[in-house]
Structure 1
Amino acid sequence: MGCVQSGTCKPPFSDTITVLELNASIDPNPTTVDESSDVVLRYRTPYFRASAQVLVPPVLKKEIWTIGWIQACNQMDFYNHYGNEGLSSWELPALRSGRVPALSDSDGVSYPWYGSTSEIYTVVGPTRRETRLTVSMNDNFHPSVTWSVPIATMGSPAQLTGIRRHQCFTTWLVARHEASGEMTLLRTLRWKVRLRIDVDPQRPLGQRARLLEPLLQDQPLVLPSNEPLPTSALTPPNANHAQMLMWRPSNAPPIMVIPPRYTHTP
Structure 2
Amino acid sequence: MGCILSKRNKNHGLEGDIKVTDLHARIDPQPTTLIETSPTVLKYQTPHFRASAKVRFPPVSSSDTWEVGWVQGCSNMDFFITYGDLGISSWEIPALKSGQQRFVSDSDGKHYPWYGCTTEVGVIVGPTNCYTVCHLRMNDNFHPSITWDIPVRNSHEVKLTKLARDQSFTVWLIASNKTTGQKFVLRTIKWRMQINIAVDGRQPLGRRAHLLDPIIQEQPQILEPNQNELPPPEALRAPNANNAQTLIWRPMTGREVVIVPPVSQ
Structure 1 segment 138-157 matched on structure 2, within 5 A: 138-152=139-153, 154-157=154-157
The aligned residue for residue 113 of structure 1 is 114
Give the whole-Å Cα distance in 2 for the aligned partners of 1:33 and 1:237: 30
Indicate how the Cα distance of structure 1 residues 36 and 246 shifts in structure 2: closer, same or farther if over 3 A, else same: same
Structure 1 segment 85-124 matched on structure 2, within 5 A: 85-124=86-125
Indicate how the Cα distance of structure 1 residues 15 and 159 shifts in structure 2: closer, same or farther if over 3 A, else same: farther
Give the whole-Å Cα distance in 2 for the aligned partners of 1:10 and 1:126: 18
The aligned residue for residue 159 of structure 1 is 159
Amino acid at match of 2:110: V
Quote how far apart the aligned CAs of 1:251 are. 2.0
Amino acid at match of 1:248: R
Contact 1:72/1:104, CA 8 A, preserved across alignment: yes
Name the SS for the 2:190 alignment partner: strand
Contact 2:6/2:184, CA 8 A, preserved across alignment: no
Name the SS for the 2:39 alignment partner: coil
The aligned residue for residue 246 of structure 1 is 248
Give the whole-Å Cα distance in 2 for the aligned partners of 1:128 and 1:211: 54
* Gap regions ≥5 residues in structure 2: none
Indicate how the Cα distance of structure 1 residues 5 and 98 shifts in structure 2: closer, same or farther if over 3 A, else same: farther
Give the whole-Å Cα distance in 2 for the aligned partners of 1:206 and 1:34: 8
TM-score, scaled to structure 1: 0.94
Give the whole-Å Cα distance in 1 for the aligned partners of 2:139 and 2:119: 10
Q: Does 1:48 align with 2:59?
A: no
Name the SS for the 1:4 alignment partner: strand
Identity %: 47
The aligned residue for residue 231 of structure 1 is 233
Give the whole-Å Cα distance in 1 for the aligned partners of 2:180 and 2:16: 16
Give the whole-Å Cα distance in 1 for the aligned partners of 2:155 and 2:104: 36
Contact 1:60/1:127, CA 8 A, preserved across alignment: yes
Structure 1 segment 9-28 matched on structure 2, within 5 A: 11-13=12-14, 16-28=17-29
Contact 1:65/1:123, CA 8 A, preserved across alignment: yes
The aligned residue for residue 215 of structure 1 is 215
Quote how far apart the aligned CAs of 1:15 are. 6.4
Give the whole-Å Cα distance in 2 for the aligned partners of 1:114 and 1:10: 27
The aligned residue for residue 128 of structure 2 is 127
Q: Does 1:259 align with 2:252?
A: no
How many pairs does the alignment contain? 258
Quote how far apart the aligned CAs of 1:126 are. 1.0
Give the whole-Å Cα distance in 2 for the aligned partners of 1:184 and 1:171: 14
Name the SS for the 2:212 alignment partner: strand
Give the whole-Å Cα distance in 2 for the aligned partners of 1:246 and 1:108: 22
TM-score, scaled to structure 2: 0.94
The aligned residue for residue 171 of structure 2 is 171
Contact 1:14/1:175, CA 8 A, preserved across alignment: no
Give the whole-Å Cα distance in 2 for the aligned partners of 1:201 and 1:155: 14
The aligned residue for residue 33 of structure 1 is 34
Quote how far apart the aligned CAs of 1:132 are. 1.4
Give the whole-Å Cα distance in 2 for the aligned partners of 1:17 and 1:192: 28
Give the whole-Å Cα distance in 1 for the aligned partners of 2:38 and 2:213: 23
Which runs of structure 1 show a deviation greater than 3 angstroms over 4 or more consecutive aligned residues?
none
Name the SS for the 1:16 alignment partner: coil
Quote how far apart the aligned CAs of 1:4 are. 1.9
Question: CA-atom RMSD, angstroms?
Answer: 1.5
Indicate how the Cα distance of structure 1 residues 172 and 24 shifts in structure 2: closer, same or farther if over 3 A, else same: same
Give the whole-Å Cα distance in 1 for the aligned partners of 2:260 and 2:6: 36
Quote how far apart the aligned CAs of 1:127 are. 1.1
Amino acid at match of 2:12: P
Give the whole-Å Cα distance in 2 for the aligned partners of 1:145 and 1:205: 14
Give the whole-Å Cα distance in 2 for the aligned partners of 1:49 and 1:176: 22
Quote how far apart the aligned CAs of 1:238 are. 0.3
Indicate how the Cα distance of structure 1 residues 14 and 228 shifts in structure 2: closer, same or farther if over 3 A, else same: farther
Q: Does 1:182 align with 2:182?
A: yes
Contact 2:64/2:178, CA 8 A, preserved across alignment: yes
